[in-house]
Chains A and B, each alone.
Chain A
């Protein structure tokens, strides 16, 4: 049964979808926002160290669930297995209103100017589809500012001499430093590095009607108990609903994007919260379901005019799956450094983001977010037994004198690191699931080694008596920072969407999530996605002519 037609249907109420919903609804378009998960609140913060988005050994607190969802993962040696969301190989991002922004760590990075033109900076990299973005830092700068002020970002990156120019400072100051912050700051300054306070989507003073951070240590992976952490669920989505133009429907699983004989999209078919198949017709469709679920939906939307799925005329949908190759080091200090003051990560350097001899790209380095006893118990320095009296004594003696510094290594996009739809395995609704295959580029591991060494040097200067490395594996990347699978570009033959996130050969279909990232920066990607969402929304509103899109 078809529901009343609207102007726009948006698939996914996360970082991208939430912003687009607000912008379109405020411009007067009627909007239906579909979300496969639920709308959780602060009361769902159970502070459960085994059942959350970061440590999901007993399940993912904010979805998706292990009962209805699955994926197929193909190992580099060709062996395939079916995985559930609580398994790391699934590459999960949360399924709830707010998406990843509901329970993330909330770092709000602007990519650096060079991050948008890696190909012109470093040249071609063998085995990689590395390219420049069709937009520059300068193009995105006004929208970064818009995201920082409308949503609310705290921090102080003034000492970061590597950042691109800002048109406006951040709206909120950083939190007072923790003990670890002070030690690392002094050490970085002695090393002639440029430490600064990480920009965060977290209130440090009352902002937008929400209070400031209460500095609990249970931040990343959990919902904020006092609403100080900023996501789309407590900013733009309520604003979208307040216009009266936007309807949010939760627990809706979208099956496919519908097309007509003119090669345009006409809406989506989805299973509602009772499992009934519905059709929501719309003048334009925005797919904002994540860098794994968006390509899956496009590939599952096959028709006579689009036999390989939407946007996939040149076989680029689902390609170049990236995340971040996290690298860093752990250090043992002589005295207690842990003061249990949240949110954890607070100080960073961008000295190794670019310009590393013989290497392409690099990473920002910062202190670690969260260290609960269960995390520390599973991370042991080389030589410390994994069980028995010695392991227990190590935990007792060192838990409070342990530091970690790490950063997201910018990955080289690989064409064969990809997502397809599996020919056999389906989810609980009978929809073919994502099939992930491929591996990281070898260069990522070289950079990771280098970055890990720099992290160890920082920790040693800070007084670490011993350090040991944290290095990424060779396998396929993805995870919460998943990106790259519907690349943005000017050439329809080597990309999926244009600079405004419009699918090249379908005038009224947009993809607005990290799928469009050409490369993923050496930073947490969410603020860049938010800026892109503001830019794409502005374009949609300008191109809107009452009943459809121009062009």
Chain B
């Protein structure tokens, strides 16, 4: 009975959740490319990086919310990244070594990336967008889908929850 209610309530969304794709906006291929990108923008070292922190999940989630208007930019940009990767190394981006991925990123950053898609959209602008969104997904609040287990805050030795003072603050003694 409960199942039936859920199915009815989500009727119009069946086409989205009917597949095995766990992503909200991106296709699985797009999401894997994006994960590989954020992994190089903030790589893991002694502290986890943007991949583990869920920066790609953050971006995917915002693309169905405040960043709705950037959906097309992301689709084009991720297609372009794939093309550049194939043009430079003959493989898709996710199959490259970390060093090769960095070379692709540098090509995007310099706006000198090969690929048909970059004739209709700017590689540099896409790169800047992904960098700033990765920073948001790594350093921003976990409630938006990134910064898993507030990993970046731990790295920066910041207290959490971020309400310094509350513990030591006794409302009964004032006012």
Any chain A CB within 8 A of the CB of B141? yes
Which of B49, B135, B158, B168 is the one whose CB lies under 8 Å from A377? B135
Residues of A within 8 A of B45 (CB): 389, 392-393
Which of A209, A341, A378, A393 is the one whose CB lies under 8 Å from B175? A209
Given contacts A47-B163, A374-B136, contact A387 B152 (CB under 8 A): no
State the Cβ distance, A282 to closest chain B Cβ, in Å.
Answer: 37
In the bound complex, what is the Cα–Cα distance between A388 and B135 (angstroms)? 11
In the bound complex, what is the Cα–Cα distance between A216 and B167 (angstroms)? 11
Any chain A CB within 8 A of the CB of B93? no
When C-beta atoms are compared, the residue in chain A nearest to B38 turns out to be: A387
Residues of A within 8 A of B144 (CB): 48, 50-51, 58
Give chain A interface residues in 375-396, CB to chain B under 8 Å: 376-378, 386-389, 391-393, 395-396
Does B156 lie within 8 Å of A399, measured CB to CB? yes
Give chain A interface residues in 45-93, CB to chain B under 8 Å: 47-51, 57-59, 66, 86
Given contacts A58-B62, A210-B175, contact A48 B143 (CB under 8 A): yes
Please tell me the number of chain B residues within 8 Å of chain A, measured between CB atoms. Answer: 41
Residues of A within 8 A of B158 (CB): 340, 373, 399
Give chain B interface residues in 26-51, CB to chain A under 8 Å: 40-43, 45, 47, 49
In the bound complex, what is the Cα–Cα distance between A395 and B47 (angstroms)? 12
Does A374 lie within 8 Å of B139, measured CB to CB? yes
Any chain A CB within 8 A of the CB of B105? yes
Residues of B within 8 A of A399 (CB): 156-158
State the Cβ distance, B144 to closest chain A Cβ, in Å.
Answer: 6
Give chain B interface residues in 140-175, CB to chain A under 8 Å: 140-141, 143-144, 152-153, 155-159, 161-166, 168-169, 171, 174-175
Does B140 lie within 8 Å of A49, measured CB to CB? yes
Given contacts A48-B141, A217-B164, A342-B165, contact A387 B174 (CB under 8 A): no
Chain A interface secondary structure, helix, strand, loop or mixed? loop
Any chain B CB within 8 A of the CB of A225? yes
* A-B residue pair count with CB separations less than 8 angstroms: 108
Does B166 lie within 8 Å of A378, measured CB to CB? no
Residues of B within 8 A of A387 (CB): 40-42, 105, 131, 134
Which of A206, A214, A225, A378 is the one whose CB lies under 8 Å from B135? A378
Which of A218, A226, A392 is the one whose CB lies under 8 Å from B42? A392
Does B136 lie within 8 Å of A57, measured CB to CB? yes
In the bound complex, what is the Cα–Cα distance between A389 and B42 (angstroms)? 6
Any chain B CB within 8 A of the CB of A400? yes
Does B156 lie within 8 Å of A216, measured CB to CB? no
When C-beta atoms are compared, the residue in chain A nearest to B140 turns out to be: A50
In the bound complex, what is the Cα–Cα distance between A155 and B1 (angstroms)? 64
Given contacts A50-B144, A209-B175, A374-B136, contact A214 B166 (CB under 8 A): yes
Given contacts A58-B66, A211-B174, contact A218 B136 (CB under 8 A): no
Any chain B CB within 8 A of the CB of A212? yes
State the Cβ distance, B117 to closest chain A Cβ, in Å.
Answer: 21
In the bound complex, what is the Cα–Cα distance between A214 and B170 (angstroms)? 9
Does A218 lie within 8 Å of B162, measured CB to CB? yes
Any chain B CB within 8 A of the CB of A215? yes
Does A389 lie within 8 Å of B43, measured CB to CB? yes
In the bound complex, what is the Cα–Cα distance between A388 and B102 (angstroms)? 9
B interface footprint on A331-375 (CB within 8 Å = 1, 0 otherwise): 000000000111000000000000000000000000000001110
Residue in B40, B132, B136, B138 with the greatest tally of chain A CB atoms within 10 Å: B136
A interface footprint on B36-74 (CB within 8 Å = 1, 0 otherwise): 000011110101010000000000001001100000000
Residues of B within 8 A of A211 (CB): 171, 174-175
Given contacts A59-B66, A391-B42, contact A47 B175 (CB under 8 A): no
In the bound complex, what is the Cα–Cα distance between A289 and B156 (angstroms)? 41
When C-beta atoms are compared, the residue in chain B nearest to A336 turns out to be: B157
Does A50 lie within 8 Å of B164, measured CB to CB? no
When C-beta atoms are compared, the residue in chain A nearest to B40 turns out to be: A388
When C-beta atoms are compared, the residue in chain B nearest to A209 turns out to be: B175
Does A47 lie within 8 Å of B162, measured CB to CB? yes
State the Cβ distance, A369 to closest chain B Cβ, in Å.
Answer: 15
Does A340 lie within 8 Å of B164, measured CB to CB? yes
A interface footprint on B122-142 (CB within 8 Å = 1, 0 otherwise): 000000000110111011110
When C-beta atoms are compared, the residue in chain A nearest to B168 turns out to be: A214
Does B165 lie within 8 Å of A215, measured CB to CB? yes
Give chain B interface residues in 72-129, CB to chain A under 8 Å: 102, 105
Does B156 lie within 8 Å of A395, measured CB to CB? yes
Which of B143, B159, B171 is the one whose CB lies under 8 Å from A226? B171
When C-beta atoms are compared, the residue in chain A nearest to B139 turns out to be: A373
Residues of B within 8 A of A58 (CB): 62, 65-66, 144
State the Cβ distance, A351 to closest chain B Cβ, in Å.
Answer: 31
When C-beta atoms are compared, the residue in chain B nearest to A391 turns out to be: B42
Does A206 lie within 8 Å of B156, measured CB to CB? no
Does B155 lie within 8 Å of A50, measured CB to CB? no
In the bound complex, what is the Cα–Cα distance between A372 and B169 (angstroms)? 22
Per CB-CB distance, the 7 closest pairs between chain A and chain B, nearest first, are A214-B165, A211-B174, A373-B139, A214-B169, A377-B135, A211-B175, A387-B41
10 contacts between A and B (CB under 8 A): A47-B162, A57-B66, A209-B175, A214-B168, A216-B164, A341-B164, A373-B152, A373-B153, A377-B135, A395-B156
Extra contacts, 10 of them, besides A47-B161, A373-B152 (Cβ < 8 A), are A47-B141, A48-B143, A58-B144, A214-B165, A216-B162, A218-B163, A225-B166, A226-B171, A373-B156, A387-B42
